[in-house]
Amino acid sequence: MNINDIKKVCVVGAGNMGHQISLLAAISGYKVSCTDISKEQLQKAEQFSIKYIQGRVKKGKLNEEDAKKALNNISFTNDMQEAAKDADFVIEAATEKLELKRKIFKQLDEIAPAHAILATNSSTLVSSLVADATERPDKVCNMHFFNPALVMKCVEVVKGSHVSKETAEVTMELCRRLKKEPVLLYKEIEGFLVNRILAAINKEAMFLLETGVATAEGIDSAVVNALGHPMGPFRLLDLTGIDLLYHISNESYKKTGDPERRPSPIIVEKYVKGEWGEKTGKGFYEYKK
């Protein structure tokens, strides 16, 4: 298969990442079917798509004709069979839980055409952990977008030892056609590139907060104004979701048994309280809904 064979994209998961990836592909000219088990999540995703497209038109970033095409390109369904049965490329963007992802990939392998590439948007779990749930491990890879997917340019594509050269090349080219700047990793490593670097920053920032050296606001200010980052680690955690870090840390701890991998007490407390960041109106900062 080559890049020109990709006509339809299926995105599994209509959450914050999934609905943005879906809309990105639709704007780029692909037919897209976004699927989720939650009808409420699908409704939110559809409403977001309409509002976003209308906003781009008002700002002069998109003309009326292209806006209409983009909205016509995208559909939402809670029927995975319907969404994936004729897809040429599938991107899974479900919750960061290995058991769930393995179940999804097994289903996708049975539903999607034999030529289809099955990619996971996981930010930490390498694709070899789900590839053996399918009969096409050579067509299973990581394709990790960053939040917000409609804005962030980088996409990490991971070519594990099970991934064919063709799969990696097609996935890289698809990223470029979505107007992204893909980076190819030649081997699997937990956390990939960016999140490994971020993890080191977050660990030190959390230590400084927990030991009372500075406030979250103070640490964020220092990182922005001294290091030139667009936002500090705590503001970024609010954006990406404290619940996501909680689940990722627990998965890492379960896998390694290393107590250093457990979520910090502050993250556990905020997860239990439902203070997950922007999505809930409160994290390290408070947000107006």
**Percentage of the chain exceeding pLDDT 90:** 89
Catalytic residue, from 33, 73, 122, 123: name it: 123
* pLDDT given at position 289: 66
Tokens of 101: 């992802």
Q: Mean of the pLDDT values across residues 254-279?
A: 93
- Which is catalytic among the residues 46, 92, 156, 251? 156
Q: Which pLDDT score is estimated for 281?
A: 95
Residue pair 178/152 in contact by the 8 Å Cβ criterion = no
77-107 as b/e: b if 16+ CB within 10 A = beebeebbeebbbbbbbbebeeeebbebbeb
Strands 154-158, 140-145: pairing kind: antiparallel
Instruction: Render the burial of 43-63: b for 16+ CB within 10 Å, e for the rest.
Output: ebbbebbeebbeebeeeeebe
Q: Is the pLDDT of residue 124 over 90?
A: no
- C-alpha dist (Å) from residue 282 to 5, 18, 114, 278, 279: 44, 22, 44, 6, 8
Lowest mean pLDDT among 29-43, 99-113, 243-257: 243-257
Residues 102-125: what's their mean pLDDT?
96
Q: Which of 49, 122, 142, 195 is catalytic?
A: 195
Q: What's the rounded Cα separation, in Å, for the pair 79 and 103? A: 15
Angle of the 216-227 helix axis to the 194-210 helix axis, nearest 10? 130
Is 162 a catalytic site residue? no
The predicted-structure confidence for 236-266, as pLDDT tens digits, reads as follows 999 989 999 999 889 888 888 889 889 999 9
Q: Which fold has domain 195-280?
A: N-(1-d-carboxylethyl)-l-norvaline Dehydrogenase; domain 2 (1.10.1040)
| The CATH number of the domain covering residues in 3-185 | 3.40.50.720
Which pLDDT tens digit goes with each residue over 192-224? 999 889 889 999 999 999 999 999 999 999 999
The domain segmentation of the chain, as residue ranges, is: 3-185, 195-280
List 73, 127, 144, 275, catalytic entry: 144
Put simply, whether the predicted model's pTM sits higher than 0.85 gets the answer no
Q: Has residue 52 got a pLDDT over 90?
A: yes
Look up residue 210 and give its two tokens.
């927990």
Dihedrals phi, psi of 81, to nearest 5 degrees: -55, -45
Mean of all residue pLDDT scores within the chain: 95
| Residue 156 annotated to the active site | yes
Whether residue 135 lies in the annotated active site: no
Give me the mean pLDDT over the 48-73 stretch. 96
* Residue 126, pLDDT score: 96
The DSSP H or E segment spanning 117 is strand 117-120
Q: Tell me the mean pLDDT in the region 268-278.
A: 96
127: pLDDT strictly greater than 70: yes
Average pLDDT over residues 158-180: 98
- Residue 164 is among the residues annotated as catalytic for this protein: no
Residue 260 confidence (pLDDT): 86
- What residues does 140 pair with on adjacent strands? 118
Query: Is-contact 164 136, C-beta < 8 A?
Result: no
Distance CA 2, CA 20 (A): 24
Q: How far apart are CA 167 and CA 165, in angstroms?
A: 5
